Amino acid sequence: MLATKSTILIVDDMQTNLSILSNLLKDRYKIKVAKSGKKALEIIQKGGVDLILLDIVMPDMDGYEVCKIVKNNEKSKNIPIIFVTANNTKEDEELAFALGAVDYITKPFSPSTVKARVNTHINLRNRQLQLEKLSKAMQEKNEILTRYTKVIDQNIITSSTDLKGTITHVSNAFCKISGYTKDELIGRNHRIVRHPDMPKELYQDLWKTISKGKSWEGEIKNLKKNGDYYWVKIYITPDYKNGRKIGYTAVKQDITDKKRVEELSITDGLTNIFNRRHFNKIFPKAISSSKRNSELLCFLMIDIDHFKSYNDNYGHQAGDDVLIKFATCLKKSLQRVEDLVFRLGGEEFGILYKAQTKKSAIQFANQLRLNIQNLKIEHKFSPTAAYITASMGLLCKDGKKINDAEKAFKEADDLLYKAKENGRNRVEVNKD
């Protein structure tokens, strides 16, 4: 496509001068002419003029007056003006530049000089227009970016920290979901929103990953300022400046509603602890984890002694109250965040927990048995004790020695049966 020719307006009251300049420039530029200042202003007002060649001495309105009007008009002030005149005094030239002219050519002129100067100022004008166009485009993009940034800030949960985890930036959405203000968060360690329910191993894995310059993603339960909680799906990536890692940025999605639905599906409706469905999902994972980390698998199976007779004599509502108190006792007795308690069905419960040695695992189980007895829930119809008690079967093995989740469950169940056979209110443990 051929480039559009620039338009030059030649203003001179002498036809001879108009003809000479027009013939000189017409091959390269579009030419418009005006024999008076008034006519020149009419043409300029319509737009499309890229440069003006302006005589000074003209009837009615001289070139200086035309220049003043052009430069005082917002639409035309940036059009370059070159005076082409017979006035060759220093004072005339200085006045021309003072009024905003870009050049001053005296008559008689050299054709090559006129061409060169016109070409120079047309090029400068075109570059100026390009810059103005780019500037306008950038301004529009910046306005769009500002709008997008505002939308993101209000709706996307984001935060940035330095290499030590000190918060350097948070979005308004982060403040909204956490309940903190920006002033309360910036400068504090990100641990301010860490929920105690989250296992420390998760954060260890997180920091290990991002410290190596890799990204990390997962689901995290966070703590609100008011003590409530919220869940986020989080993606953390390192930040770099001049090739040097300077911190981390996290983008988060609120998944609280999703997690609450999940919690309902894995929570026992009466006792508010995990149900059998969740146990069936977690138990194989616990075995795999103990194998991978060369740890003991500790699975304690628990049954309330003579619970049927309790229900028959005290009523099912009283029985439900016992189940709730029993589950609460189990949960409060746990020693680590990663220890889990389940209602496996009826009056049967299970606990998955960590222990350094088999001896400490047995000590925990016996302490739990005493905690239950110390609830002192009266059971007059129990031949075992005057209060509610529990029998327990403890499977405590090196994870590498467990090959099958069903067999492991069966072994714990057999140990529970043995505890009942041997008098109840006791813990039976695997021998190997």
Active site residues: 347
Please enumerate in sequence order all residues whose Cβ is within 8 A of that of 211, keeping only pairs 6 or more positions apart, or say none: none
User: Angle formed by the axes of helices 316-333 and 307-314, to 10°?
Assistant: 140
Beta bridge partners of 391: 303
Record the tokens describing residue 319, joined without a space: 């029985």
Dihedral pair phi/psi, residue 263, rounded to 5°:
-60, -40
User: For residue 306, with 0-12 CB atoms within 10 Å meaning exposed, 13-18 middle and 19 or more buried, which class applies?
Assistant: buried
Q: What gap in Å lies between CA 118 and CA 31, rounded to an integer?
A: 13
Q: What gap in Å lies between CA 425 and CA 403, rounded to an integer?
A: 30
